[in-house]
Amino acid sequence: MDITIAESTVEGTAQAPPSKSYTHRAVLAAGYADGAVVRDPLVSADTKATMRAVEAYGGSVSLAEDESTVEVTGFDGRPETPDDVIDCANSGTTMRLVTATAALQDNLTVLTGDESLRSRPQGPLLDAIGQLDGDAESTRRNGQAPLVVGGGVDGGAVEIPGDVSSQYITALLMAGAVSPDGVDINLTTELKSSPYVDITLEVLEAFGVDAEKTDAGFTVDGGQSYTPAGGDYNVPGDFSSMSYLLAAGALAAEDGLRVTSAFPSAQGDAAIVDILDRMGADLDWDEENGEITVSQSDLTGIEVGVEDTPDLLPTIATLGAAADGVTRITDAEHVRYKETDRVSAMAEELTKMGAEVEEHQDELFVYGADSDLVGTTVEGRADHRIIMSLAVAGLVADGETTVTGAEHVDVSFPNFFDVLDSLGVAVQR
């Protein structure tokens, strides 16, 4: 499906969608538990993949008709061997988190996904499971799905790089809590995207699981039970998805835009608030009530490191293309290993729209003063974050911008274009 966005202003109120990161972790944590109710979940293509995985391991998942709750009957730390292959679709988070789950059962589980997911690196996690005396292989022996995993690991110590994906750490911590001996994680490199591990620790604590940072990395004791207080867990709003709304407000909300469900949490992508403030946006965050108001502003380019916030790179690049001066995005190499190479994707697609962009292996320069955005057809690359960022760029591009493959917003923000429409954007489907 292609979406066409005309140059538009936005105004009104928009609610941020629930957090995808928290929903994944909460649903799987409920699976590791005897059961739990996850309230205000994000129901998307990605999180549904995690729900299916919980069912494959012997749990059951019941989604309320209005999608306000997910009721999970868990497998209580003892996953069954799935009857069939686990298809993680496009969800890298699902694959990594439930790969570690597979290592807990004695037999073998096969995990796969779509073409994009089958190109993403899983080798370090497979190596870690091997260090725990589990069975973990790529069928193509290239560290990529399809994966075959099992072996009934008891726990132990692992060495693993931290600069490829923090999801490996999350997977090991969540599975390690129900293993007999627990898991000690020793990082062999600096940890990238560390706020995502902070999210994991926050969710684990909410489910009654103790895990800690150490000088070497992280540790979690084995033999623990997932037992959320009161039997339920409330998912906060998603700052990754919120970034597109806030960017739209900073670029095109002449009379202001109010974004709700913006309560503080461990999410690293809450950094978008500070980034916009540094760029000169007229913005106010009422943390107590979870509301951010933002208005169209004259933005100035800044230097931003995305070591801990890789999902913000597409949003920052779009803001940079409409800002005065130079926006320099650093520490970005790991952003190349997402649903697509997001560094190259934003460089190439913004260039089509008239932006001056310079791409390096670990950096992206956007020369806003030399950019004059014009509507054209751009490729969404089957990547939800690329699609939404380019749509926001279309708000301030002269003419009409057509984004291909727009249906992929279902991964994290299924009603994104409905929200834009409600805010006054000229959207053609």
Q: What is the CA radius of gyration of the chain?
A: 21
Nearest by Cα to 293 from 241, 253, 323: 253
Q: Residue holding tokens 């729900």?
A: 51
Question: DSSP characters for 139-153?
Answer: TTSSS-SSEEEES--
Q: Residue holding tokens 């004695």?
A: 106
Residues in Cβ contact with 230 at an 8 Å cutoff, skipping those fewer than 6 apart: none
Q: List 110's β-bridge partners, or say none.
A: 148
Pairing between β-strand 147-150 and β-strand 282-286 as defined by DSSP bridges: unpaired
Task: Return left, alpha or beta for 332; rule: phi > 0 is left, psi -120 to 50 is alpha, else beta.
Answer: alpha
Distance of CA 359 to the CA centre of its chain: 23
Residues in Cβ contact with 62 at an 8 Å cutoff, skipping those fewer than 6 apart: 70, 71, 72
- Joined tokens for residue 149: 């995993």
Catalytic residues: 311
User: How far apart are alpha carbons 60 and 74 in whole angstroms?
Assistant: 7
- Measured torsion, CA atoms of residues 304, 309, 313, 318, in degrees rounded to the nearest 10: -80
Nearest by Cα to 373 from 346, 404, 352, 347: 352
Q: Is the dihedral of CA 209, 334, 145, 157 positive or negative?
A: negative
Distance of CA 119 to the CA centre of its chain: 17
Nearest by Cα to 391 from 11, 1, 6: 6
User: How far apart are alpha carbons 78 and 86 in whole angstroms?
Assistant: 17
- CB-based burial label for 65 (10 Å; 0-12, 13-18, 19+): exposed
**If DSSP codes are grouped into helix, strand and coil, which group holds residue 412?**
coil
- Measured torsion, CA atoms of residues 133, 136, 137, 143, in degrees rounded to the nearest 10: -100
